[in-house]
Structure 1
């Protein structure tokens, strides 16, 4: 079996072609299972190579948060948590956040905007719960695209705001109108 990969850039498109020539009949049997793996890996590799820097940053940050940071901070009794309803599973999803309560409103900024899973869950079901200082409060979340998220961060806890600015790729303000 002889194989050749040809990569061609055509404007904004990247085209990867794999050419396989079978020199012996046994080669077809060898290539059949290898082709299944090849067909899955090549598109993933191309996606990673062609992603913009913000998408790569988002992927790295969210991987760290999901595997390391969120499990640790979720266990802290006074960590502020946002509980949404999973848009597909219907199960409660709890995400550590930081923000500020002002009267009957809780404000925070999503660091990855529409790419955040909890933002997607809010779009599907805006009823949420927020754990503030160890107490749960029900409310309705609203995504405020017109709000200046960078200016909003100046009014929120300083340490978290600095982290959101550092790792954020697409800031989005969220307000939760808490039930009385």
Structure 2
């Protein structure tokens, strides 16, 4: 595989082109795996160089791309997976997101790894009425964002596997409580 990066500058824009030539078939497969990451990293690096990025932007893009393309579609199909259903703030359509958390009485607690940057959190801000699939049953509730709660401490009371992933990849932790009907 041979690659060539071409950068073109004009008055107020930077154009980056990547040309890829495959010498062997395995290279095509390798590039198919690398291209989505490349398509995220290059614009993020350019924004960072221009001073237009926030800390954690690249990590946020990589994790959410992985979740959107692979993690969420696979997890959503697992019968025991907890799902949060919000109403899309623009479309008005139901949006389901696999989540981790714990039910305590008539409340369900979770921590969002990217806080208000998460699409499901933005949907909650627009309409806090949600549905939760818990142990195969759908429950209705109202979600509350709790920015004053200590999200790191809260993770210690939630299931370990999910909490470890949220702490490892999260950049803007935000506690959410769902009051179940």
TM-score range, shorter-chain basis?
0.7 to 0.9
Aligned residues: 145
Partner residue, 1:169 = 171
SS at match of 2:56: helix
Superimposed CA distance per residue, residues 9-33 of structure 1 (whole angstroms, 9 cap, x where no aligned partner): xxxxxx8468xxxxxxxxxxxxxxx
Partner residue, 1:126 = 128
Match of 1:98 among 94, 97, 100: 100
Q: CA deviation at 1:78?
A: 1.1
Partner residue, 1:47 = 47
Q: Which runs of 5+ in 1 are unaligned?
A: 7-14, 19-42
Q: Distance in 2 between matches of 1:129 and 1:159?
A: 23
Match of 2:82 among 63, 80, 83: 80
Q: CA deviation at 1:47?
A: 2.5
Q: Distance in 2 between matches of 1:127 and 1:17?
A: 42
Match of 2:144 among 136, 142, 146: 142
Q: Contact 2:102–2:108 (CA<8 Å) still a contact in 1?
A: yes
- Runs of 4+ residues over 3 Å off in structure 1: 15-18, 43-46
Let me know the Cα RMSD of the aligned residues: 2.2
Q: Contact 1:48–1:56 (CA<8 Å) still a contact in 2?
A: no
Structure 1-normalised TM-score? 0.75
Q: Distance in 2 between matches of 1:144 and 1:117?
A: 16
Task: Return closer, same or farther for 1:87/1:62 CA change in 2, 3 Å cut-off.
Answer: same
Q: Distance in 2 between matches of 1:169 and 1:71?
A: 23
Partner residue, 1:5 = 9
Structure 2-normalised TM-score? 0.74
Q: Distance in 2 between matches of 1:44 and 1:53?
A: 11
Q: Which runs of 5+ in 2 are unaligned?
A: 1-7, 15-42
Q: CA deviation at 1:46?
A: 3.9
